[in-house]
Copies of this chain bind each other. A is one copy, B any other.
């Protein structure tokens, strides 16, 4: 079943290029903050082209979000499975890979998902888009959680006893760095933060026991 090519005027723009441009606008401004005027200007197409290629603002946003996940999120996780590498190093590389992206001057600062997810709570994001954002946010948390559950070294260190908690700690740190990045804090400053969090996690078993005693 081949694609039926029905003749007509040829498209002047590349869909992927336009999508990337749209993604960067959403990344900088959020869903609500990004206007169609600015979107189409950056995409270098006009509104009717946008509407009959992508559907509407929400559909464009969903495709842009998927583009972000594929191109700017998935890549980092390879660091987690690097063979012959201590878990601490793999986690640190993973975290810093993300932090460096958050701080990069090549792209908008911070994290696309963190920014837009915070709009969801405001209630101004359409249902389907909100669902995608929520699902996308759950992914890295699950990835880390599974790592702690299955990784040999993690089990040896006892980190598998609280997979979810440890994953939440790291993910929360990354949300924090995303916010800091947006305020123009440098990735080298944030490296200290990541180190602190990892140190805390790796000395968890003893430390948490003592902290429980400390609190009232």
Contact = CB atoms under 8 A, between A and B. Distances in A.
B92 A121 contact: no
Q: Copies of this chain, how many?
A: 2
A196 B197 contact: yes
Nearest to A118: B182
Contacts of A192: 162, 165, 168-169, 208
A169 B117 CA distance: 23
A185 B168 contact: yes
Query: Looking at chain A's contact residues, is the secondary structure mostly helix, strand, loop, or mixed?
Result: helix
Interface stretch (A29-37, A46-54, A60-68, A69-77): A29-37
Interface stretch (A7-15, A147-155, A173-181): A173-181
Interface residues of A, number: 60
A79 interface: no
A90 B101 CA distance: 34
Given A109-B121, A172-B177, 6 more contacts: A118-B118, A121-B183, A168-B193, A173-B173, A173-B197, A199-B207
